[in-house]
């Protein structure tokens, strides 16, 4: 029974991996049981054994994208102290994850959110839930930075995170649509400038003006 379950789980993961890559280019709505089965060389009935509906498949794809996001973005921040340092590393890791992504459509969640923002239902609800969790994590680190006197208390934490989040989303759009090769470096510069502007004298010491675009890990450890 264990071998059978393990084989089934492996097959499911292979299906989801292909579906996630496909959805990044064609959209979640473009995923169909029949189309995916054909691309994988499987029967529709074989695919139905793992996913009973298109919506179930879409939700599973979103969950795999979440796992990939966490595995890519979170590890580099694990050893960073709470507050401004962790906020900076999380943001830069996010930029790196999109820039180096294997997804043909760029940021998976940006594409999926644009596709489902006006489509009520479980998929939209899950995308919104995950987005709020991420934004709230960034806000929490901003608030901790304020408590540690690294970020000015005059700063509206939600407004700061709104702007920081926008820099990354804009970089993704600029790279995907306008094919600007410097899009992600521009995002890094904007993030650093925004955090420097909001930092206290204590916090500014954590953001040296001579930082290069990609050496933040060495600078913060």
* pLDDT digits 0-9 by tens, 166-211: 999 999 999 999 999 999 999 999 999 999 999 999 999 888 565 4
CA 221/CA 214 separation, integer angstroms: 14
Partner residues linked to 151 by β-bridges: 199
CA 186/CA 180 separation, integer angstroms: 10
pTM above 0.75, yes or no: yes
For tokens 């992600």, name the residue: 184
Q: ∠210-71-7 over CA atoms, to 5°?
A: 160
Token pair belonging to 40: 């994988």
For residue 86, what are the CA distances in angstroms to 16, 143, 174?
Answer: 31, 12, 26
CA 100/CA 106 separation, integer angstroms: 9
* 192 contact partners, CB below 8 Å, separation of at least 6: 88, 207, 211
State residue 219's pLDDT score: 43
- Which domains can be identified in the chain, with CATH numbers? 2-60 (1.10.10.60), 74-220 (1.10.357.10)
What's the mean pLDDT when you consider all of the chain? 90
Residue 163: how many CB atoms within 10 A of its CB?
A: 15
Please provide the DSSP assignment of 147-198 as one string: HTTSB-TTS-HHHHHHHHHHHHHHHHHHHHHH--TTHHHHHHHHHHHHHHHH
Closest by alpha carbon to 84, among 143, 145, 161?
145
CA 183/CA 170 separation, integer angstroms: 8
State residue 45's pLDDT score: 82
The residue that leads in pLDDT, 39 or 195, is 195
Among the listed ranges 44-48, 54-58, 67-71, 77-81, which one has the minimum average pLDDT value? 44-48
For tokens 């529709």, name the residue: 44
- Per-residue pLDDT of 6-36, as tens digits, reads 777 888 888 999 899 888 888 999 888 888 8
């Amino acid at each position: 029974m264990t071998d059978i379950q393990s084989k089934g789980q492996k097959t499911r993961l292979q299906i989801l991996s292909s579906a996630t890559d496909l959805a990044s280019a064609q959209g979640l709505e473009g995923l169909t049981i029949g189309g995916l089965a054909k691309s994988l060389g499987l029967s529709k009935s074989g695919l139905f054994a793992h996913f009973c509906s298109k919506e179930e498949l879409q939700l599973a794809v979103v969950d795999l994208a979440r796992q990939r996001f966490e595995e890519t973005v979170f590890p580099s921040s694990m050893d960073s102290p709470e507050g401004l340092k962790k906020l900076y590393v999380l943001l830069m890791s996010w930029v790196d994850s999109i820039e180096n992504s294997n997804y043909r459509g760029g940021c998976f969640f940006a594409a999926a959110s644009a596709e489902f923002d006006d489509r009520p239902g479980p998929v939209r609800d899950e995308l919104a839930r995950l987005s709020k969790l991420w934004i709230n994590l960034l806000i929490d680190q901003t608030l901790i930075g304020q408590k540690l006197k690294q970020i000015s208390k005059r700063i509206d934490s939600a407004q700061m995170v709104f702007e920081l989040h926008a820099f990354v989303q804009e970089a993704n759009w600029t790279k995907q649509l306008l094919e600007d090769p410097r899009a992600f470096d521009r995002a890094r510069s904007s993030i650093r400038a925004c955090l420097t502007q909001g930092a206290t004298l204590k916090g500014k010491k954590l953001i040296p003006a001579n930082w290069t675009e990609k050496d933040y890990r060495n600078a913060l450890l």
